[in-house]
Amino acid sequence: MLIRVGSQTDITAGGMKVLDVAGTKVNVVSTDGRLYAFDDTCTHRGCSLARGRLDGTTVTCACHGSQFDVTSGAVVHGPAQQPLRSRSVQLEGDDLLVDDLLAR
Ligand code: FES
């Protein structure tokens, strides 16, 4: 279910923003004119991906250099082996909505 987690002004093009979504830290990025959302915790050893770098649609973890495709969550480069959990995200007016992944 999509829930409001912030507003359009929270997001800057090319930037990363971590928001609380039903108790989970979720990273919302705006890149290539689209929004993407994924769990902020690196699947390698748990670092915050927001401390890393976003280049186009690739986020690089600052801890050990794992890279993920933000459009799908797929691993682009290890040492991480598990993909990130992606989430639906959209703007509705000024409201930023992200899927809380909770069954209702
Ligand atoms: S914790 Fe992200 S690469 Fe190791």
Convert the pLDDT of each residue in 2-41 to its tens digit.
999 999 999 999 999 999 999 999 999 999 889 999 999 9
Q: Mean pLDDT for the chain?
A: 95
CATH architecture of 2-99: 3-layer Sandwich (2.102)
Q: Ligand 1 pocket: which residues have CB below 6 Å?
A: 42, 44-47, 61, 63-66, 79-80
Asked whether the predicted pLDDT for residue 60 surpasses 80, the reply is yes
Ligand 1 probe mutation, 39, 41, 43, 44, most atoms within 8 A of CB: 44
- Residue that is written with structure tokens 């639906």 in the block: 88
Asked whether the predicted pLDDT for residue 104 surpasses 90, the reply is no
Q: Write out the DSSP string of 13-25.
A: BT-EEEEEETTEE
